[in-house]
Amino acid sequence: MVLSMAGIPGLLFFLLLLLCVFGHVSPYEASWKPTWPAYRLPVVLPQSTLNLAKPDFGAKAKLEVSSSCGPQCHKGTPLPTYEEAKQYLSYETLYANGSRTETHVGIYILSSARPGAQHRDSGLSRSSRRKRQIYGYDSRFSIFGKDFLLNYPFSTSVKLSTGCTGTLVAEKHVLTAAHCIHDGKTYVKGTQKLRVGFLKPKFKDSGRETNSSNSATPEKMKFQWIRVKRTHVPKGWIKGNANDIGMDYDYALLELKKPHKRKFMNIGVSPPAKQLPGGRIHFSGYDNDRPGNLVYRFCDVKDETYDLLYQQCDAQPGASGSGVYVRMWKRQQQKWERKIIGIFSGHQWVDMNGSPQDFNVAVRITPLKYAQICYWIKGNYLDCREG
């Protein structure tokens, strides 16, 4: 049975959604293992698709997003109604030939208690301030050598030809920030020929790989590029802006023209910050101040809203779009698993008791965003019932 949520006001809509999502959350184990909660998720399905005119690709690529709307500002924003949520989760698809479509979605709740139960498809800035993003001592780590760069989890980080970072989340899919390809009004220059770069060892003239395992100098690496077949951007980003709701929807999915043949990292619903191991998050990206280097960092979450995580991980432009991940215990498979729970977006100046303070911000993968992104990847909502 499918429950439609039409006509429900914002607060009631989200209360019903949360009851559904957390209705099957397993209790937090009384052990030292931080455990992935078991969610029963909503369904986000396409309803209709319209053809749009080709964009002009005239926007300048921005490698970070800034906003003065901090945690209290976001917490005070009214929750979207069902119709507004559908509008924000509707999305635009850009194809490699420059054509573009807009897809409207419906949001549904499966009343069956059995995950994956079969049923009939029912149609289912402050510009004057320096944006440093470094807090005290620079705690970032540059990752050198193919033994690290080509191994999981660092191998899941890729570079976009527009200058941002992305993360491999499926055999042909990359998760990144929406602002890396779209400025909220139109697509950035170069998006029509968007490519994704994978770090690989450079080769000598003889054709053999360089080997610096016993050398004091870092091994030379190069990017191998794969073209993007299509991109998906939520309308919440396109219709909003960084000082309103836009930052909540600063995410995009890229589909490659061919499989990348690397291990990828699954996406997951972001648990509450207090349930994160040590209260920390991790991410790796291609910061501009360290060209050619993959830079890893971790830090504590300082605050959160329903859609955003506020932290002070050291970062520079170029790192935006990085997948924010944690490692927790997967009870069903009895193993540890890393999952992407957010996308690094940019930073915000926040008024803390009259004193300006800046935070770096990650967009949380909420149950609705998980259902949407998973459907983009899988194409079948029955494969998106567990977050």
DSSP E strands in 83-177: the ranges are 91-95, 100-110, 141-143, 157-160, 165-168, 173-176
* DSSP H stretches of helix in the chain: 10-22, 71-75, 82-89, 146-149, 235-239, 367-378
Instruction: Tell me which of 145 and 191 has the higher pLDDT.
Output: 191
Would the pLDDT of 228 be above 70? yes
Cis peptide before 153 (omega within 30 of 0): yes
Task: Work out the average pLDDT over 60-71.
Answer: 73
Q: How far apart are CA 347 and CA 358, in angstroms?
A: 7
Do strands 195-201 and 221-234 pair parallel, antiparallel, or not at all (unpaired)? antiparallel
pLDDT tier at 15, thresholds 50, 70, 90:
low
Task: Work out the average pLDDT over 165-179.
Answer: 97
Place of tokens 């215990």: 329
**Residue 68 · residue 125 · CB < 8 Å:** yes
- Parse the chain into domains and list their residue ranges: 36-108+139-201+220-378
In the DSSP assignment, the letter for residue 262 is: S
Would the pLDDT of 79 be above 50? yes
Instruction: Please tell me the pTM assigned to this model.
Output: 0.83
Sign (positive or negative) of CA dihedral 19, 24, 30, 32: negative
How much is the pLDDT for 312?
82
Between the CA of residue 156 and those of 222, 264, 300, what are the distances in Å?
15, 6, 22
- Determine the topology of domain 36-108+139-201+220-378 in CATH: Thrombin, subunit H (2.40.10)
Residue 296 tokens read as 């890893």
Q: How far apart are CA 18 and CA 358, in angstroms?
A: 30
pLDDT tier at 115, thresholds 50, 70, 90:
very low
The catalytic residue positions are 179, 244, 320
Give the three-state DSSP class for 68: coil
